[in-house]
Amino acid sequence: MKEPEAELPSPREAPSEAEAEVAAWRAQWASLKEEAGEYEEGSWDERFACHDSDQALENWANNLWAGLADLRASVKRLQTPESSGPSQGQTAQDVQRSFQSFKVEQSQAFERLLGEQQLLEDALASLGKRFDSWVGESPSMRQRTGSRSKENLNDSDDPRGNAFLEDPELLQLKTELRELEAVEVQEPSYGGWAETDHQVFVRILRVFRMQATSQCYARLAFQFPDLSEAALADHVKWYSDHQARQARRRMLLARWRERRSFLSSQSRANEKRNQAPVRAPTSVPAADEEKGSSNKFRSQNETVVT
């Protein structure tokens, strides 16, 4: 028995090329709309983060001044006559412990703010370069100069430079910093990509919370159709290594500044100690000298009489 032939759709039922193109545009529009929503959500998160940073800065400043006020009040209490007595030593120890705790807290806050400062400087540098591209320049051909001025690691212009140059910890930190800078100089700018393409890459990666998931790779492949998946994976690895080097550099710089500050304060204390005036031996008053001579003469006469 002959099987019935499949009926073909009539020309009215078959979709035209225009309808297929419209359907494809609608699908792409839906994808772009979803991505725009993610960008908008991310922008709101950044606004809230900015507000939280302002509030955190205000709280930190309030805690800083409150802690300093407490320390000053404790020191003034030690200077009053009422604080003298058996409890004075315990009070002094409490003040010293409070001072050390306050110092540690402020050091940790300084390192945390230093990292946030670096992120803000990088963001400002990126926005500045984007503005340059908007006004007609071609920053993609420009060599990267860095988002911040380099730290001056040469201490020869410092009057206490000898102590800095001979300190083993500072020498080790400067060696590691220069090694990182040498790697950054040898690396191509933006991993060999154009600056505008790299900025788009970073924005897409931030949409996916800096996680190189399969959805992230799909979005990157859609944005960069001329690049293979291996090329995208290489750039993801380069960017991850670059971020790790930047984090390492910030940590080394924080330790370098802290060590320099410690050596500077120690050197100033030694200079003050060396420049302190030496007290001359006190001379015996003339009246005391005459009194001693008369006593000596009297004792000699008593010896003769006896």
DSSP letter, residue 158: S
Within-domain flag for 239: yes
Q: What is the pLDDT of residue 236?
A: 92
Q: Are the beta carbons of 245 and 184 closer than 8 angstroms? A: yes
Within-domain flag for 291: no
Q: What is the pLDDT of residue 138?
A: 44
Within-domain flag for 269: yes
Question: Average pLDDT for residues 117-128, to the nearest whole number?
Answer: 73
Model confidence at 13, in pLDDT bands (50, 70, 90)?
A: low
What stretches of 124-274 adopt beta strand conformation (E)? none
Q: Give residue 193's domain range.
A: 157-273
Burial class of 55 by CB neighbour count within 10 A (0 to 12, 13 to 18, 19+): exposed
Within-domain flag for 234: yes
Question: Average pLDDT for residues 45-53, to the nearest whole number?
Answer: 60
Within-domain flag for 129: no
Q: Is 191 left (phi over 0), alpha (psi -120 to 50) or beta?
A: left
Between CA 242 and CA 202 the distance in angstroms is 12
Q: Which of 133, 114, 248, 105 is nearest to 200 (CA)?
A: 133
Half-sphere exposure of 208 (CA within 13 A, CB side): 17
What residue has token string 């983060």? 49
Model confidence at 75, in pLDDT bands (50, 70, 90)?
A: confident
Within-domain flag for 193: yes
Model confidence at 235, in pLDDT bands (50, 70, 90)?
A: very high
Within-domain flag for 41: no
Higher pLDDT, 230 or 23: 230
Instruction: Encode pLDDT of 150-183 as tens digits.
Output: 455 554 444 444 555 677 888 888 888 888 888 8
Higher pLDDT, 281 or 252: 252
Half-sphere exposure of 134 (CA within 13 A, CB side): 6
Q: What is the pLDDT of residue 232?
A: 93
Looking at the 3D structure of the chain, how many domains does it have? 1
Rounded to the nearest integer, the mean pLDDT of the chain is 72
Within-domain flag for 43: no
Between CA 219 and CA 39 the distance in angstroms is 14
Q: What is the pLDDT of residue 159?
A: 42
Q: Are the beta carbons of 194 and 125 closer than 8 angstroms? A: no
